[in-house]
Structure 1
Amino acid sequence: MSLSRKQLTLSAVIIAVFATGGSFILFQENADAKATSTTSAPPAATVDIANVVSQTITDWQEYSGRLEAIDQVDVRPQVSGKLIAVHFKDGSLVNKGDLLFTIDPRPFEAELNRAKAQMASAEAQVTYTSANLDRNQRLIQSNAIARQELDQAQNEARSANANLQAAKAAVETARLNLEYTRITAPVSGRISRAEVTVGNVVSAGNGAQILTSLVSVSRLYASFDVDEQTYLKYISNQRSSAQVPVYLGLANESGFSREGYISSIDNNLNTTSGTIRVRATFDNPKGVMLPGLYARIRLGGGQPRAAILISPTAIGVDQDKRFVVVVDAKNQTAYREVKLGAQQDGLQIINSGLQVGDRIVVNGLQRIRPGDPVKPHLIAMPNPQIIADNTAQQPQPSEKTPTSAKG
């Protein structure tokens, strides 16, 4: 009987131990689960957000084209002779009338002197024949000479006058040829290099070699092709007044800082490309732009309208779709598909998908997922174009300023 009581006591102890151990294990598992759930919840990421606002814009169309010189001249010799001087520096700016080349003038000076001598002889002959004609006219009145002699005197006087006119023309030709030995700039602009050096003999006439070329740079053309819809929308109604605003930017610029006007429109549409050639004129007072440079053209003229513009950095790509990340009132994120329009001054026009007042993430899209909680940091809508322009205007270190080396 005592043995059975001992066995019962031992069994009770064992059961109590297992019960206590099970409770401990269950408690430990619950604690581990709580710790796991606590550590698995990621902290809310701090992201930059901006409020979506509406702005008044004017629709623009952008095209690419090339700059062209208004005046482009190949300088050729008008007389033959030996080149004795070049008076310009290659690539420099010259004014109309500036001396460019000199051809040896001595043969032409001699020719001018010879022509002047012939003119003097012709003048003397005119004086003599005129006096002889006057004398014969008096003698014919008294029948002292035959009528034939008077006719001969008249013919000699007319011939002498004709010879004098020819001599004067020869003098003028010789004077022009002498002037042509001084080759001057026909227009103001930027000159190319000298194609012929001093000491070479140049020839005039058909096939005369090019000495240099000259292009005007104070104003330039920008030629570009517009599609039919753009022509009908912006240009056709204002063809005569040329009031369509047109702006230009170069390849290394982000904006369109130069304003010009449409100077000509082609008289037909190219049925192959479906475009019309348009030419705009732009001032170039500093001579920075050169013919042949790539030009970005912005053409507009539509009625101002309200539109939503956001920073391109806020737009994500999902295959063929574009989306933004919207932050709701509870600071939860959600993807929203958007339809894009054109770009305006560095910002992206949104045709659909956003409303005024929406809050969107503008930086760090790759760090968040739909439904993630975030800590919003409200900033103004960033404009990459303004940022780039401000960066470009920052003073750069000179060669004398030490800078830290970067590997």
Structure 2
Amino acid sequence: MKKGLRWGLWGILLAGIIGYSIYTMLQPLKAELIEVHPQTIAKTFREEGVVVPKLEKEIYASLGGKVTVVNVEVGQDISKGDLVVQLDTEEIGHQLNQLRGQLASVEGQELQAFRQPYGSQVAQQQLAIQQAEVQLDAARKEFDRVKALHQAGAVSQETYDQAEIAVKQAENLLFQQEQALMLLMEQSDPPTGTREQFSGLRQALAAQIALLESQLAKGKIYAPMDGKIKTVNVKEGEVIAAGTPIAGIFRPGGYDVEVFLLAEDVVQVKPGMKVKVIQESNAKDTAYEGTVAKVAPAASEKQSALGLVERRVKVTVDLDGDVNTLRPGYTLDVEFTTHRQEGKLVVPKTVVFPYDKGDAVWVVREGKAVIQPVTTGLETGTDVVIEEGLQSGDRVIINPKLEGLKEGKKVAG
């Protein structure tokens, strides 16, 4: 009796198990489904960039010396022509005054060397020549008279000789007066080369003066454009060398983003490409539209956040729209879209699994699970395009490894 009861209980238990198993098998499998429809898919990558002004200039010292005045501070608005920094040029001023004095002295010496005789001296000597000419003319006429008388025997030889001597004396006197005038004029004409010597001295001093005047002007450094002071690199009292960067100035309101890309990424980036620029914030991220303006022709070495030296190419992105909230030096994420396809059936990459030397997905047709071979296309980090095998409206099982999933199994989404 007891043995029969025991067997009866075992029979009831077995029947319950079999019944539950049959019930479970007949129940549809609960699975998460997605319904595919044509959509846009884009392959993108992100890289960090830095905001830089479209227009900025570094101001350098063209002259070395001691900084006496720093007239600006970081963040200050400035206009073109405003004084930025002044250097000590007192020594240059002294040298300049000394050279100007030397030039004045040389010019004075030149005037003395080439001075003209006084007009009264010339006039007096010319009058003396005229008088000598009159005396010579009178002496010659007297000689002609005496000569005629001498030939007639009316005068002695002595008288004749005296008349002849008087002519020669008058000729000598005229010659002496003419020579005196020539000497007077020659005294105003220095030796050959004197004029060239003074010209060379004047040119040399003028060149030195021009150089010092240029250096003196460089002692005051002015803003080359309207803008805002970005950096100030010197302090009052500091001694700097020529070529030292003094300050940086930029024009607010117009900004670019400079981003350095790896060589394998930059190959697909071209000028004119549209990009998305994201400024992350604790409250809400801000997105800007941008356009690739320039791609550098060569790579340069950059150090990564991990300390690795990488070869990267600089890409300049032109920002569109209102960017007044940005400031130079801000870091932004730049999203580049290298591929975009419209009207494609797209599924998560995790739903695709290897099948019969190809790929497949689980779909639900007429309420049952079916393995659907597919041909994949463009892939992104999370999604993949199904080129063949699916139609719009197909429902795809998200988890291909779902427990109990097999072909023909009823599925409830």
Please give the range of the TM-score, normalised by the shorter of the 2 chains.
Answer: 0.5 to 0.7
Counterpart Cα distance in 1 of 2:286 and 2:379:
15
2:115 partner amino acid: N
Q: Does 1:200 align with 2:185?
A: no
SS in 2 for 1:341: strand
Q: Is the 8 A contact 2:272 2:291 kept in 1?
A: no
Deviation at 1:82, TM superposition (A): 1.8
- 2:68 equivalent in structure 1: 84
Deviation at 1:260, TM superposition (A): 2.1
| Higher RCO, Cα 8 Å, sep 6+ | 2
Q: Is the 8 A contact 2:275 2:292 kept in 1?
A: yes
Q: Is the 8 A contact 2:72 2:229 kept in 1?
A: no
Whichever structure has more strand as a proportion of its residues is 2
Candidates 358, 383, 389, aligned match of 1:348: 383
TM (normalized to structure 1)? Answer: 0.53
Deviation at 1:193, TM superposition (A): 5.4
Deviation at 1:83, TM superposition (A): 1.8
Q: Is the 8 A contact 1:307 1:350 kept in 2?
A: no
Could you report, residue by residue, the CA deviation over 1:113-164 in whole angstroms, capped at 9, with x for unpaired residues?
A: 55555556566667x469836989x97xx87344754542896666555555
Counterpart Cα distance in 1 of 2:379 and 2:97:
72
Q: Is the 8 A contact 2:344 2:386 kept in 1?
A: yes
Deviation at 1:259, TM superposition (A): 0.4
Deviation at 1:263, TM superposition (A): 5.7
Task: List aligned pairs for 1:8-407, cutoff 5 A.
Answer: 30-31=15-16, 33-35=18-20, 37-38=22-23, 45=30, 47=32, 49-55=34-40, 76-89=60-73, 99-115=83-99, 117=101, 128=111, 132=115, 144-146=181-183, 148-152=186-190, 162-184=200-222, 191-192=230-231, 194=233, 196-204=234-242, 218-219=255-256, 224=261, 245=273, 247=275, 249=277, 257-262=289-294, 265=297, 280-283=315-318, 288=327, 290=329, 298=336, 308=344, 310=346, 312=348, 315-316=350-351, 325-330=362-367, 332=369, 339=376, 341-343=378-380, 348-350=383-385, 352=387, 354-357=389-392, 359-360=394-395, 370-371=405-406, 373-376=410-413
Quote the sequence identity (%). 14
SS in 1 for 2:390: coil
What number of residue pairs does the alignment pair up?
A: 330
The RMSD of aligned alpha carbons is 6.0
SS in 1 for 2:344: strand
Name structure 2 gaps, 5 residues minimum.
127-177, 300-310
Counterpart Cα distance in 1 of 2:35 and 2:116:
105
SS in 2 for 1:78: coil
**Shift in alpha-carbon separation, 1:256–1:84, aligned structure 2, 3 A:** same
**Shift in alpha-carbon separation, 1:121–1:315, aligned structure 2, 3 A:** farther
Deviation at 1:261, TM superposition (A): 3.2
SS in 2 for 1:79: coil
Counterpart Cα distance in 1 of 2:36 and 2:287:
25
1:86 partner amino acid: V
Counterpart Cα distance in 1 of 2:395 and 2:351:
12
| Structure exhibiting the larger radius of gyration computed from Cα positions | 2
SS in 1 for 2:32: strand
**Shift in alpha-carbon separation, 1:340–1:305, aligned structure 2, 3 A:** closer
SS in 2 for 1:177: helix
Name structure 1 gaps, 5 residues minimum.
1-13, 236-241, 268-275, 377-407
**Shift in alpha-carbon separation, 1:337–1:151, aligned structure 2, 3 A:** farther
- 1:381 equivalent in structure 2: none
SS in 2 for 1:107: helix
Deviation at 1:183, TM superposition (A): 3.4
2:239 partner amino acid: V
Could you report, residue by residue, the CA deviation over 1:255-301 in whole angstroms, capped at 9, with x for unpaired residues?
A: 8832023466469xxxxxxxx9976543366565659x79857476x
Q: Is the 8 A contact 2:29 2:404 kept in 1?
A: no
Deviation at 1:338, TM superposition (A): 6.3
1:327 partner amino acid: V
2:88 partner amino acid: D
